[in-house]
Amino acid sequence: MAMEVTQILLNAQAVDATVRNHAEENLKQFQEQNLPSFLLSLSGELGDDDKPVESRKLAGLILKNALDAKEQHRKFELVQRWLSLDSPVKSQIKTCLLKTLSSPVYDARSTASQVIAKIAGIELPHKQWPELIGSLLSNVHQLPAHTRQATLETLGYMCEEVSADVVDQDQVNKILTAVIQGMNSSEGNSDVRLAATRALYNALGFAQANFTNDMERDYIMRVVCEATLSSEEKIRQAAFECLVSISSTYYDKLAPYIHDIFNITAKAVREDEEPVALQAIEFWSSICDEEIDILEEYGGDFSGDSDIPCFYFIKQALPVLVPMLLETLLKQEEDQDQDEGAWNIAMAGGTCLGLVARTVGDDIVPLVMPFIEENIAKPDWRQREAATYAFGSILEGPSPDKLIPLVNVALNFMLSALMNDPNTHVKDTTAWTLGRMFEFLHGSTLETSIITQENCQQIITVLLHSMKDVPNVAEKACGALYFLAQGYEDVGPSSSPLTPFFQDIVQALLTLTHRDDAGESRLCTAAYETLNEAVRCSTEDTAPMVMQLVPLIMMELHQTLETQKLSSDEREKKNELQGLLCGCLQVIIQKLGSSEPTKYVFMQYADQMMGLFLRVFASRSATAHEEAMLAIGALAYAAGPDFAKYMPEFYKYLEMGLQNFEDYQVCAITVGVVGDICRAMEDKMLPYCDGIMTQLLKDLSSNQLHRSVKPPIFSCFGDIALAIGENFEKYLMYAMPMLQSAAELSAHTSAADDDMIEYTNLLRNGILEAYSGIFQGFKSSPKTQILMPYAPHVLQFLDSLYMEKDMDDVVSKTAIGVIGDLADTLGSNAGPLIQQSVSSKDFLSECLSSHDHLTKESAEWAKLAINRAISF
Amino acid sequence: MADEGLVSHKRDPLKSSVGNVAAHRRRQHAVTIGKERREAVVRTKRLCRVGISEDSDVSIDNDMVLDEEQSILEAQTSSAVKELKASVAYQGKGVMQRRVSAIRELRCLLSRSEFPPVEAALKAGAVPLLVQCLSFGSPDEQLLEAAWCLTNIAAGKPEETKTLLPALPLLIAHLGEKSSLPVAEQCAWALGNVAGEGEELRNVLLSQGALVPLARMMLPNKGSTVRTAAWALSNLIKGPDPRAATELIRIDGVLDAIARHLRKADEELATEVAWVVVYLSALSNTATSILVKSDVLQLLVERLATSNSLQLLIPVLRSLGNLVAGDTQTSNVLVPGHEITDNAIAALIKCLKSEHRVLKKEAAWVLSNIAAGSIEHKKLIYTSEAVPLLLRLLSTAPFDIRKEAAYALGNFCVAPTEGAGKPTLILEHLVSLVGRGCLPGFIDLVRSADTEAARLGLQFMEMVLRAMPNGEGPKLVEREDGIDAMERFQFHENEDLRNMANGLVDKYFGEDYGLDE
């Protein structure tokens, strides 16, 4: 059955595009005509030591891609396709792959490992291929080193592919034994040790039982720690990666080892190669993550119930940990600030220091202050930068009481450093540190702010000056200004301390967006987002200046739409800019639309603005579409019923958005915008509802659409019903069964998975909002009684939600509202039904005594509606 | 491949650009605004008052009651109570007029809004004044308005309802024959609201003698008074103490009136009366045995067959089910071969076919009660259209309906017990039901978290294992994954179920199972 494919595979990698395309076409045809034969040929090619390595690698890769895909529904199809192949074919392929593991050619072995893991990922959950692990491990000791290496690599990939619950403990033990033996220092071959160490990284998730057994755990930990001392850098790195994984998976088992681990990590951080040192730091960052989570749970709930107790490792290690991290700060790279993806030991150390500060709070301050004081004024820029970075890192975590006196002393120093320090790195970090000061120590929630009338002007002068600095410093200055503006968001409607500087701020930010080197996208984004924040937090007295921005930004947007014949790189930049400009207009619309006088003036631009937004849809950028949609949603709300005049033109883009499964965020935002438009246009929405409802129903039945879009779609049903009232009648026969079956699915959260519970609650809330909207939409219509047949189900849904006892507050509030809406609209006809429901009694009285103000309010209203329904 | 084997974990640096975070926040903010606006729209709609009162003199007011209006309303209420107080103290000329218009003012305020200003009225001391206005010899108009005010107060929060305690004796007194009908009805209404609040207040009302006068009000042939009285009675006898229900059925004329209303009354009145029957039959054995001997059962069956009103059908079905379940000798009434029995089954089949979940569930429940009767009963239903419907419900309906259908189907297979020991089987029914594919439905119940349903499923499985001809049972159970379903009970906390399931697995799927193949 197998066919000769070597030449085609080689041609498929040819430099000549014609040859390559032809070969790819051949492969595609072959696959379509006879899949089993195709897969067999590929596995044969991969396993044949007489074939060239290039064709073997590609054969394996195609085989792998025939088993797995990134996209969820595609992946599902491939899995089904494999499962439905004839068993003899599958077993022939598998035998061939297992045989390939003994090939002397590394690439062939390694590719085979990955393919085997993919097949295991499909078959083991179906209880197929039970002999796999046994056959991999049989005679593992007698095999030649290269085969042992391949076997361990396969085990590692396999553990990555399958979930722990499909492998018996007995087999887990065998895997772990083989892996640990492979890691042991008695293993002479370092390739085998490396493969074993990497395999352990993936196998750790399987070792729950083994980690509860003291002896086994001690043994595993000893071998891992030994491996961190290997003479091979890659083994040391892999061993530290294992430790990082252990720190999060088995935090509660670490106490006996933490002292030794500290010594090992400290040595690695100080002396080892960077990739190893980074993992050693990561170990402590990961411990911080764990302790922050646990302490948050302690704090959030007085019962102090966290499943895992806090061992306060960080607090205990603090006196030695902090000096170690401070040392790393001095190992900066020359150009790290220019490179967005940069990651080095100094950055990792500072990040860890920030986490430590969040974990221990005030205790870190006395340990860091001497370092700052000693280094902040040194001639070596590295020392000044490290001191500043240390200061910035610890601004979140310790109490304002502890920090404010220090910041008050440091602020002037920082401002002058930002103006005058000769070194760019220092200025960059200084601006960032100022931003952190404003983020955490300035705002209406604090009793005393570090910003006063006196220093405000100076701060702004310095920040605006820094916007003329090199791009990375200018961008950090924007960040500082962003948080400065944000601190004034609750300052009141009429005037803000920023008012005197508003014009200058806007001017400086706009200038920044026009800088030649603003093409550096981080800078342009930071400038626009800072402008947005300044606008969002602005007050009535600066409204005229915001108004002046409207034509300006519109002109910018217009210009991006006029440019033509761009390279793909330029087009991408242009789309990004369109997104930023639409985002900016969205914020401005929101701001000016929120008060009548400004709205009135602003609306004269509406026609033109809408025209620009519609043109943005001609681009293919998902981000630009999202931003344009959001801006249109804001515009619709401001325009009210007048928005109807834009609908004939806008409708097709709305439909396009609702059909965009691929960029599901676009779809989600469009669904939200449908809601905005409903609220704006009310019954003028009617002519468009057939099309919109059709599309929404299609979206709901699609298994390709990301699930997160479904709850907003249900809410959107409610929005439509509220807008068009009894005209929703014709959609009831489609919408209600959808709601009903979704309700039945969501009534029980079978999975204990937190994500699933959260999603289920979102879904419930969407469904309930739909019901509320529909009932309220029909209220006072002569047709209310056509809803009567649905009432039993709705009440049943509410009852079963109540019985499940796992609603979150938001769902409770919406749910109790629904029963009120039902009673309100259906009145005495539903009285007997309502009286029978548990929700109308027990759930209601629970909500009446709720601590949540909004829930209580909804419940009180529901009670009135229910009483009226059952007593009249 | 060695160098790309693992991609090292890299976290986001602490020192990062503001742009991305800010853009994300801005979009989140836009989404939040949408949500807030949706809530505001719903809130406004809820507050939008729609005239639902049948009384033309209550001004229909379509304005929105906003917070300010609410506080205005409250202020008006306190001053209305103050005026009422003054009018009660006033003894001069035109006192009656002044008093009546003061109460009416208060009543209008209490009826006007979606949020009646009950609290404000109570705070201003309305109840003692209203009690005074209820004193004997007062003009009807005054009594009516005072009782109306109290009705609206009783519809408030539980603690507000309780403030009516001092008014109860007088409200009950005005139910008597000497009162005009509107006054008596309004008082019944207020008392119904009070009784609906809870057991404690029901007991107070019963001890103060509310039952007999309300029952008498139900005796005449028609009118809203009868309906209101029936409604108030159904609230009053809700129990859980059965004594009120027993007492009610023994009052002269009540049984007769119930039958009469079920026979002749319009659907609205019949609905309220049927609710009375629901509580009578649910709570009191005495009432049940009296009711089954009367025409009531026959009348319920007729209503079930002829009505399409869901409001009526629900209490009728439930009454029927209560009566059938409560009567140890159902056969006395629903005798196979009699017309009433056929009619009852036909009507229940109609309900099984209906769209309404509640009707389906209640009908299946009633059928399961009938199927628990004699062999003749079982045969009769078994040959009807009910079986295919029940089978379909067992495989497709929501859980609660499925469970009722399973009870009915299970009952078909078991003969009435004579003495102790395992019930005898009706093999013919069992074989035929299994043949029609009911086993997976029962096995599904075994998997449910509801122990009652699980027990039912296990019992059915036991019958299949024990009795299917040619020892076919174990194979059938295995084929439908029944073993797996039973094994889930291996360590179940419910000892009974655990023993039952383990016993079955041991007995039928023990070491020898499958050896003969």
Q: Do A586 and B155 touch (CB under 8 A)?
A: no
Q: Do B17 and A525 touch (CB under 8 A)?
A: yes
Q: How far is A760 from chain B (nearest CA, A)?
A: 18
- Convert the pLDDT of each residue in B301-335 to its tens digit: 888 888 877 778 888 888 888 887 765 555 566 77
Average pLDDT over residues B257-279: 85
Between residues 290 and 329 of chain B, which touch chain A (CB distance below 8 Å)? 310-311, 314-315
Are A438 and A429 spatial neighbours (Cβ–Cβ below 8 Å)? no
Number of Cβ pairs < 8 A linking chain A and chain B: 185
Residue A177's nearest CA partner among A214, A230, A228, A140 is A140
What pLDDT score does A340 carry? Answer: 76
Nearest CB partner across the interface for B18, out of A191, A529, A829: A529
User: What percent of chain B is modeled with pLDDT above 90?
Assistant: 0
The number of beta carbons lying within 10 Å of the beta carbon of residue B488 is 13
Average pLDDT over residues A89-106: 94
Q: Is the pLDDT of residue A187 over 60?
A: yes
Average pLDDT over residues B53-59: 36
Are B236 and B206 spatial neighbours (Cβ–Cβ below 8 Å)? yes
What pLDDT score does A300 carry? Answer: 55
Dist CA B116 CA B135 (whole Å): 25
What pLDDT score does A159 carry? Answer: 93
What pLDDT score does A456 carry? Answer: 93
The number of beta carbons lying within 10 Å of the beta carbon of residue B507 is 13
What pLDDT score does B62 carry? Answer: 38
Q: Do B311 and A836 touch (CB under 8 A)?
A: no
Average pLDDT over residues A356-372: 97
Dist CA A799 CA A828 (whole Å): 20
Nearest CB partner across the interface for B10, out of A343, A432, A672: A343
Between residues A511 and B41, which one has the greater pLDDT?
Answer: A511
What pLDDT score does B109 carry? Answer: 78
Average pLDDT over residues A156-175: 90
The whole-chain average pLDDT of chain A stands at: 91
Between residues 430 and 469 of chain B, which touch chain A (CB distance below 8 Å)? none
Between residues B99 and A355, which one has the greater pLDDT?
Answer: A355
Residues of chain A contacting residue B315, judged by C-beta atoms under 8 Å apart: 832
Q: Do A675 and B38 touch (CB under 8 A)?
A: yes
Q: Do A532 and B22 touch (CB under 8 A)?
A: yes
Chosen for mutation from A632, A867, A868 (greatest number of chain B CBs closer than 10 Å) is A867
Highest average pLDDT, of A138-147, A501-510, B361-370, comes from: A501-510
| Smallest CA–CA distance from A191 into chain B, residue | B2
Half-sphere exposure of A863 (CA within 13 A, CB side): 25
Dist CA A859 CA A862 (whole Å): 5
Name residue, tokens 């259908």: B405
Q: Is the pLDDT of residue B389 over 70?
A: yes
Q: Do B30 and A194 touch (CB under 8 A)?
A: no
Is B96 in CB contact (< 8 Å) with chain A?
Answer: no
Between residues 130 and 159 of chain B, which touch chain A (CB distance below 8 Å)? 151, 155-158
Chosen for mutation from B16, B42, B278 (greatest number of chain A CBs closer than 10 Å) is B42
Dist CA B80 CA B99 (whole Å): 11
Residues of chain A contacting residue B310, judged by C-beta atoms under 8 Å apart: 788-789, 792, 833
Between residues B51 and A643, which one has the greater pLDDT?
Answer: A643
- Convert the pLDDT of each residue in A814-828 to its tens digit: 999 999 999 989 888
What pLDDT score does A679 carry? Answer: 93
Q: Is the pLDDT of residue B88 over 60?
A: yes
Dist CA A20 CA A762 (whole Å): 49
Q: Is the pLDDT of residue B3 over 50?
A: no
Dist CA A39 CA A46 (whole Å): 11
- State the pLDDT confidence band at A413, using cuts at 50, 70 and 90: very high
Between residues B266 and A418, which one has the greater pLDDT?
Answer: A418
- State the pLDDT confidence band at B58, using cuts at 50, 70 and 90: very low
The whole-chain average pLDDT of chain B stands at: 78
Are B350 and B356 spatial neighbours (Cβ–Cβ below 8 Å)? no
Q: Is the pLDDT of residue B93 over 80?
A: no
What pLDDT score does A337 carry? Answer: 77
Dist CA B288 CA B284 (whole Å): 6
- State the pLDDT confidence band at A865, using cuts at 50, 70 and 90: confident
Residues of chain B contacting residue A867, judged by C-beta atoms under 8 Å apart: 155-156, 193
- State the pLDDT confidence band at B53, using cuts at 50, 70 and 90: very low
Dist CA A113 CA A103 (whole Å): 11
- CA diameter of chain B: 108
Q: Do A586 and B157 touch (CB under 8 A)?
A: no
Q: Do A867 and B52 touch (CB under 8 A)?
A: no
| Smallest CA–CA distance from A579 into chain B, residue | B23
- State the pLDDT confidence band at A723, using cuts at 50, 70 and 90: very high
CA angle centred on A235, ends A233 and A238, rounded to 5°: 110
- State the pLDDT confidence band at A241, using cuts at 50, 70 and 90: very high
Residues of chain A contacting residue B11, judged by C-beta atoms under 8 Å apart: 282, 285, 348, 351
Residues near A816 by beta carbon (within 8 Å), at least 6 away in sequence: A839, A843, A844, A847, A855, A858, A859, A862
Between residues B93 and A21, which one has the greater pLDDT?
Answer: A21
Peptide bond into B13 cis (omega under 30): no
Q: Is the pLDDT of residue A523 over 80?
A: yes
Between residues 386 and 415 of chain B, which touch chain A (CB distance below 8 Å)? 398
Q: Is the pLDDT of residue B56 over 50?
A: no
Q: Do A429 and B41 touch (CB under 8 A)?
A: no
Residue A527's nearest CA partner among A507, A552, A502, A509 is A509
Name residue, tokens 């103060």: B208
Q: Which whole-number Å values give the CA distances from A642 to A551, A606, A655, B42, in the listed order?
A: 21, 10, 20, 22
| Smallest CA–CA distance from B44 into chain A, residue | A776
Count the residues in chain B. 517
User: What percent of chain A is modeled with pLDDT above 90?
Assistant: 70
Q: Do A432 and B15 touch (CB under 8 A)?
A: yes
How does DSSP assign A473-538, residue by residue?
Answer: HHHHHHHHHHHHHHTTTTS-SS--TTGGGHHHHHHHHHHHHT-GGGGSHHHHHHHHHHHHHHHHT-
Angle of the A754-778 helix axis to the B18-47 helix axis, nearest 10:
40
Residues near A665 by beta carbon (within 8 Å), at least 6 away in sequence: A622, A626
- State the pLDDT confidence band at B61, using cuts at 50, 70 and 90: very low
Is B7 in CB contact (< 8 Å) with chain A?
Answer: no
Residue A729's nearest CA partner among A691, A690, A678 is A690
Between residues A156 and B398, which one has the greater pLDDT?
Answer: A156
Between residues A476 and B21, which one has the greater pLDDT?
Answer: A476
Are B88 and B130 spatial neighbours (Cβ–Cβ below 8 Å)? no
Q: Do B311 and A525 touch (CB under 8 A)?
A: no
Count the residues in chain A. 872
Q: Is the pLDDT of residue B190 over 60?
A: yes
Are B180 and B140 spatial neighbours (Cβ–Cβ below 8 Å)? yes
Between residues 231 and 250 of chain B, which touch chain A (CB distance below 8 Å)? none
Outline where A228-337 has alpha helix (H): 233-249, 258-271, 274-300, 313-328
Between residues B374 and A384, which one has the greater pLDDT?
Answer: A384
Q: Which whole-number Å values give the CA distances from A744 to A334, A715, A749, A799, A816, in the listed order?
A: 60, 17, 11, 12, 18
Are A389 and A427 spatial neighbours (Cβ–Cβ below 8 Å)? no
Q: Is the pLDDT of residue B114 over 70?
A: no
Residues of chain B contacting residue A770, judged by C-beta atoms under 8 Å apart: none
Residues of chain A contacting residue B15, judged by C-beta atoms under 8 Å apart: 347, 350-351, 389, 392, 429, 432
Q: Do A532 and B26 touch (CB under 8 A)?
A: yes
Dist CA A167 CA B33 (whole Å): 48
Q: Do B22 and A529 touch (CB under 8 A)?
A: yes
User: Buried b vs exposed e over B268-291: b needs ≥16 C-beta within 10 Å?
Assistant: ebbbbbbbbbbbbbbbbebbbbbb
Q: Do B358 and A789 touch (CB under 8 A)?
A: no
What pLDDT score does A174 carry? Answer: 92
Q: How far is B303 from chain A (nearest CA, A)?
A: 17
Q: Do B356 and A789 touch (CB under 8 A)?
A: yes
Residues of chain B contacting residue A191, judged by C-beta atoms under 8 Å apart: 2
| Smallest CA–CA distance from A773 into chain B, residue | B42
Nearest CB partner across the interface for B52, out of A529, A744, A827: A827
- Convert the pLDDT of each residue in A312-339 to its tens digit: 999 999 999 999 999 999 999 888 877 7
Q: Is the pLDDT of residue B4 over 50?
A: no
Is B64 in CB contact (< 8 Å) with chain A?
Answer: no
Chosen for mutation from B10, B35, B38 (greatest number of chain A CBs closer than 10 Å) is B38
What pLDDT score does B290 carry? Answer: 83
Q: Is the pLDDT of residue A1 over 80?
A: no
Nearest CB partner across the interface for B275, out of A348, A779, A832: A832
Is B24 in CB contact (< 8 Å) with chain A?
Answer: no
Average pLDDT over residues B37-57: 60
The number of beta carbons lying within 10 Å of the beta carbon of residue B366 is 28
Query: How does DSSP classify residue B9?
Result: P
